[in-house]
């Protein structure tokens, strides 16, 4: 049956389909046509049938609804252009040889949530009265299923898991740095004791012996404490989309920003190549910088509360800029700010001062740099540069595999 030979009928014009007595009086061909039209129109997914010219000659209610929601007159063309740019050749016509099934597509809407679809394209070949004898007619059936709700639920679960992983990673890093700093500080008094033992050895052998025993016991306890330091898991390097990482960080930090009345100006690069990096470590790096910006803007009485995130391509590296409109960091403290346990916050219990030191270490391990500068219009700018070809990361990963 050639769809062009049978004008599309609106099932609302055929209430008789719900009345078996009236249905019995319809000619069989008309009844089947209207029944097929009703089934297609009531289908829970968008359906579109395209002829060889690429025009849609049959659709359903969900397809028309999708057209209105996306504000696109021909959703079929949008989907096919995204899935197969050469679809007019590869999917339609006598030379068509391809098809696709359950291919997922993401359509971003300005000012709205992204929509996700599972799409299938199935070529159809028929011979009927509408075609020249012995000549096949070619059509393309496009099926579009909206899976946005499913993907949103999966995204919420993924962000919850990511939030837990980042919290655990932060806790582990803080514990590692705290124990390392404590060991370093305890080494000082023990070194003084060792020097005193050397001076007392000839004059006060008894005292020297007691101090030596105490020193040995102290070093044994330090070694036990050293064994409690969590080991570095050596996360494997993989291709990382920095725009996606920053988007995740913003989603994870949304609750804190909303509670503090902070607005975000998100300006991602249109096309930013993936870099070779450790995904969780990069998430931790940028979360530490965003957390630092939130802390700066959360001071009581601060009026302008805005964070700007920008990514851009700069020659052979990716540049990430995080600006806040807070009080900024004085020039004399910008290097000291990267020292472990340094903080300008008054409450030391809430602010251990390890975020920037961990962020700097992560940037260095990726062959990059991290610097603090003045933000345009006032505030602090955290500038991160990460190389696209990360030779240092490859060397670190190879070293970790050997260990």
Query: Tell me, what's the pLDDT at 102?
Result: 93
Distance of CA 355 to the CA centre of its chain: 21
| Domains in the chain: ranges and CATH | 3-152 (3.30.450.20), 154-226 (no CATH), 238-402 (3.30.565.10)
Query: What distance in Å separates the CA atoms of residue 308 and residue 375, rounded to the nearest whole number?
Result: 10
Query: Tell me, what's the pLDDT at 8?
Result: 42
Handedness of CA 231, 233, 234, 240 (dihedral sign): negative
Query: Tell me, what's the pLDDT at 5?
Result: 43
> H/E/C letters for each residue in the chain?
CCHHHCCCCCHHHCHHHHCHHHHCCCCHHHHHHHHHHHHHHHCCCEEEEEECCCCEEEECHHHHHHHHHHCCCCHHHHHHHHHCCCHHHHCCCCCCCCCEEEEEEEECCCCCCCEEEEEEEEEEEECCCCCCCCCCEEEEEEEEEECHHHHHHHHHHHHHHHHHHHHHHHHHHHHHHHHHHHHHHHHHHHHHHHHHHHHHCCCCHHHHHHHHHHHHHHHHHHHHHHCCCCCCCCCCCEEECHHHHHHHHHHHHHHHHHHCCCEEEEECCCCCCCEEECHHHHHHHHHHHHHHHHHHHCCCCCCCCEEEEEEEEECCEEEEEEEECCCCCCHHHCCHHHCCCCCCCCCCCCCCCCHHHHHHHHHHHCCCEEEEEECCCCCEEEEEEEECCCHHHHHHHHHHHHC
Query: What distance in Å separates the CA atoms of residue 393 and residue 386, rounded to the nearest whole number?
Result: 11
Query: Tell me, what's the pLDDT at 348?
Result: 46
Query: What distance in Å separates the CA atoms of residue 395 and residue 401, rounded to the nearest whole number?
Result: 10
Query: Tell me, what's the pLDDT at 4?
Result: 44
**Cβ 275 vs Cβ 365: under 8 Å:** no
pTM above 0.85, yes or no: no
Tell me the average confidence (pLDDT) per consecutive run of 10 residues in the chain, 403 residues long.
43 47 63 76 92 92 93 93 89 80 83 82 76 70 94 90 87 78 81 82 82 86 80 81 92 91 89 88 93 88 88 91 91 83 58 73 92 91 90 56 51
């Amino acid at each position: 049956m050639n769809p062009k030979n049978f004008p599309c009928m609106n099932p609302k014009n055929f209430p008789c389909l719900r009345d078996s007595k009236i249905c019995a009086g319809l000619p069989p061909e008309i009844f089947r046509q209207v029944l097929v039209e009703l089934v297609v129109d009531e289908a829970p997914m968008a359906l579109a049938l395209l002829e060889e010219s690429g025009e849609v000659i049959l659709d359903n209610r969900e397809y028309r609804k999708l057209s209105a929601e996306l504000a696109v007159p021909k959703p079929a063309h949008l989907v096919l252009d995204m899935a197969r740019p050469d679809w007019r050749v590869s999917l339609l016509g006598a030379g068509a040889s391809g098809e696709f099934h359950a291919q997922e597509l993401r359509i971003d809407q300005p000012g709205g949530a992204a929509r996700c679809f599972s799409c299938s394209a199935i070529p159809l070949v028929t011979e009927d009265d509408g075609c020249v004898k012995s000549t096949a007619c070619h059509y393309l059936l496009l099926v579009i299923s909206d899976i946005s709700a499913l993907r949103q639920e999966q995204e919420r679960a993924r962000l919850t898991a990511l939030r837990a992983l980042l919290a655990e990673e932060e806790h582990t890093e803080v514990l590692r740095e705290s124990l390392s700093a404590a060991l370093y500080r305890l080494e000082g008094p023990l070194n003084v004791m060792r020097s005193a033992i050397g001076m007392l050895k000839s004059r006060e052998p008894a005292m020297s012996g007691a101090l030596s025993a105490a020193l040995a016991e102290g070093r044994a306890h330090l070694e036990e404490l050293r064994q409690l330091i969590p080991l570095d898991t050596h996360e494997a390097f993989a291709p990382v989309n920095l725009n996606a990482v920053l988007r995740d960080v913003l989603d994870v930090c949304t609750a804190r920003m909303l509670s503090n009345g902070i607005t975000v100006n998100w300006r991602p690069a249109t096309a930013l190549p993936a870099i070779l990096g450790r995904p969780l470590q990069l998430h931790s790096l940028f979360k530490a910088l965003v957390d630092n910006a939130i802390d700066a803007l959360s001071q009581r009485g601060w009026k302008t509360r805005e964070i700007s995130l920008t990514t851009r391509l700069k020659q052979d590296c990716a540049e990430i800029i995080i600006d806040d409109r807070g009080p900024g960091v004085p020039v004399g403290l910008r290097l000291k700010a990267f020292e472990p346990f340094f903080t300008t916050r008054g409450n030391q219990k809430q602010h251990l001062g390890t975020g920037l030191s961990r962020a700097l270490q992560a940037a260095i391990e990726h062959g990059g740099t991290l610097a603090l500068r003045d933000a345009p219009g006032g505030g602090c700018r955290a500038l991160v540069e990460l190389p696209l070809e990360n030779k240092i990361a490859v060397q670190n990963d190879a070293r970790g595999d050997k260990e």
